[in-house]
Amino acid sequence: MTEATIIDGKAIAARVTDKIAAQTENYIREAGAPPCLAVVLVGEDPASAVYVRNKGRTAEKVGFKSIQHTLSIDTPESDLIALINKLNGDPAVNGILVQLPLPAHIDATRIIELIAPEKDVDGFHPINVGRLGAGDFIKALIPCTPAGCVILAKSALGDNLSGLHTVIIGRSNIVGKPAAQLFLAENCTVTIAHSKTRDIEDVVHRADIVVAAVGRAEMVKGAWIKPGATVIDVGINRIAAPEKGEGKTRLVGDVDFASAAAVAGYITPVPGGVGPMTIALLMANTYYAACRQNGVSHLIIA
pLDDT, one tens digit per residue, over 177-192 is 999 999 999 999 999 9
What value does the mean pLDDT of the chain take? 95
Split at pLDDT 50, 70, 90, the class of 2 is low
Q: For Cα atoms 291, 12, 149, give the angle at the middle one, nearest 5 degrees.
A: 80
Closest residue by Cα to residue 166 from 206, 225, 197: 206
CATH architecture of 144-275: 3-Layer(aba) Sandwich (3.40)
Query: What are the catalytic residues?
Result: 55, 99, 122
Q: What pLDDT score was predicted for residue 64?
A: 98
pLDDT-based confidence at 297, cuts 50/70/90? confident
- Decide if pLDDT at 176 tops 90: yes
Task: Give the pLDDT confidence score for residue 47 in this predicted structure.
Answer: 81
User: pLDDT of 270-290, one tens digit each?
Assistant: 999 999 999 999 999 999 999
Check residue 46 and give its pLDDT: 81
Q: For the chain, which residues make up each domain, given as ranges?
A: 144-275
Give the separation between CA 80 and CA 247, rounded to whole angstroms. 35
- What's the N-to-C CA distance of the chain in angstroms? 34
Q: What is the pLDDT of residues 26-73, one digit of tens each?
A: 999 999 999 999 999 999 888 888 889 999 999 999 999 999 999 999
Beta strands in the chain (DSSP E): 5-6, 36-42, 65-71, 95-98, 165-169, 189-193, 209-212, 230-233, 237-240, 249-252, 266-267
Query: How confident is the model over 68-89, as pLDDT tens digits?
Result: 999 999 999 999 999 999 999 9
Enclosing H/E stretch for 21: helix 9-31
Q: What average pLDDT does the segment 147-175 reach?
A: 98
Distance from C-alpha of 172 to C-alpha of 214, rounded to nearest angstrom: 8
Residue 28's H or E segment, with its range, is helix 9-31
